Amino acid sequence: MSTPLYIDEYDYPLTDERIAKYPLPQRDTSKLLLYKNHKISEDVFYNIGNYLPSGSLLVYNNTKVIQARLVFHKETGARIEIFCLEPVSPHDHALALGSTKGCTWKCLVGNLKKWKSNEISRNVDVDGKQCRLMAERLSTNGNTHEIFFSWPDVNLSFAEILEAAGELPIPPYLNRPTEEQDKITYQTVYSRIKGSVAAPTAGLHFTENVLEKLRGQHVFTEEITLHVGASTFQPVKTADANEHTMHTEIIAVPRKAIEHISENLEHIVAVGTTSVRTLESLYYIGVDIPECQPGTTPFVTQFRPYEREDGLPVKQALQNILDYLTETRQDTLHAETQIMIKPGYRFRLVNAMITNFHQPKSTLLLLVSAFVGEDWKRIYDYALEHDFRFLSYGDSSLLFPNLQPVCCQ
């Protein structure tokens, strides 16, 4: 039985006016809080390279937010909103978005009581061409629904239909409708793999100028993919955070990225909590992958890091993944993770973290606390007292842990 983790201890006073409703006109002019050796200071994000050790490997999430919210209107005028969360069939994001013959998605449905028949439809204008999009409700599991989307034009992909008819799903705590500028400002400059329904917001501060400046400071970069789900916004509603159910997220890490990470284990800087979860999941995937059955997807369960003590060196765990990719003739690791990083977690790969300021009582705040310990309270107090902007469109921080990750000990 695990020791209770009382979520009320991870609360702080966040008022609505502290939440950034819009980004700054220039991404890299956001404020940057710096935490290292228990000391807190601040600067501007554009100068972040001044605080990264030479030779650092910046690992960022290249996922791109899709226009996942679809609105249908019935003949009665009733408005039904469908929020596509993740593909069911085909299960792969690229295959589902590229489908021209229909696809099934796990969705949230707004105004469900007005959806009486199995199928609803709407017209979609794709570059001047009219297409009829049908949505058929197949099954229900809790508050989500499996919905089959179909359309008669086999020359159109589901990605094109979403691009034409969908709406970008900005975070609910912004308390405003999506605006045209969000299509640009709510994407990182390096986003390219479509699949997320929420942005990896730590990356929103980067500009091409910042990336170029970092290259001149001998800071290197590497890409991974984790498609962020809508559950990232869900607060912990159980008194004991151990009773909270983590959402499953799909990750993809190319062989060359794993090799690059393995060669730079003492210099890994994760851009955002999504990159942290992906990197840390790699270790447990590597430990368990020799036992992975052919044809199954490697999966890190929520409490896998706490179930037993693993003494396998990080480098060997990564080599296990590379061997698995060779044996299965794959160039990219495709896996799923439900990992919960909470106080007491032993970090394996991440040496520093770039992240925004997260919601009270959230699993993301638990992750930050796991990284910096009880000093998370001092960090957030400082941010509140020095007019930092909070959440997705808010300011940034660069955090160094007080204990070295396992790979460096």
Decide if pLDDT at 202 tops 90. yes
Q: Hey, what's the torsion of the CAs at 265, 228, 193, 206, to 10 degrees?
A: -60
CB 147 within 8 A of CB 138: yes
- How far is the C-alpha of 338 from the C-alpha of 84, rounded, in Å? 19
Convert the pLDDT of each residue in 74-127 to its tens digit.
Answer: 888 889 999 999 999 998 999 999 999 999 999 999 988 888 877 899 999 998
Decide if pLDDT at 166 tops 90. yes
Amino acid making up residue 235 = P
Q: How confident is the model at residue 288 (pLDDT cuts 50, 70, 90)?
A: very high
Please report how many Cα atoms fall inside a 13 Å half-sphere around the Cα of residue 332, on the Cβ side. 11
**Whole-number average pLDDT of the chain:** 94
pLDDT at 346: 95
pLDDT at 233: 67
- How far is the C-alpha of 353 from the C-alpha of 347, rounded, in Å? 12
- How far is the C-alpha of 398 from the C-alpha of 272, rounded, in Å? 10
Q: Name the pTM for this structure.
A: 0.94
Q: How confident is the model at residue 11 (pLDDT cuts 50, 70, 90)?
A: very high
Nearest CA to 67 among 177, 206, 151, 163?
Answer: 163
Q: Which domains, and CATH codes, for the chain? A: 7-65+184-408 (3.40.1780.10), 69-167 (no CATH)
CB 60 within 8 A of CB 188: yes
pLDDT at 271: 98
Amino acid making up residue 236 = V
Decide if pLDDT at 27 tops 60. yes
- Count of Cβ atoms closer than 10 Å to residue 123 Cβ: 9
Give every CB contact of residue 206 below 8 A, 6+ residues apart in sequence: 27, 28, 60, 188, 189, 190, 271
Q: How confident is the model at residue 142 (pLDDT cuts 50, 70, 90)?
A: confident
Average pLDDT over residues 328-350: 96
Decide if pLDDT at 1 tops 60. no
Nearest CA to 249 among 223, 224, 220?
Answer: 224
Nearest CA to 332 among 294, 377, 367, 297?
Answer: 297
Q: How confident is the model at residue 371 (pLDDT cuts 50, 70, 90)?
A: very high
pLDDT at 409: 62
Percent of the chain with pLDDT strictly greater than 90: 84
Average pLDDT over residues 193-208: 96
- How far is the C-alpha of 62 from the C-alpha of 67, rounded, in Å? 16
Percent of the chain with pLDDT strictly greater than 70: 99
Q: What angle do CA 394, 30, 253 make, to 5 degrees?
A: 70
Nearest CA to 31 among 377, 272, 356?
Answer: 356
Q: Structure tokens of 324? A: 């698995």
Decide if pLDDT at 137 tops 60. yes
Average pLDDT over residues 17-45: 97
Convert the pLDDT of each residue in 69-87 to its tens digit.
Answer: 999 998 888 899 999 999 9
Decide if pLDDT at 234 tops 80. no
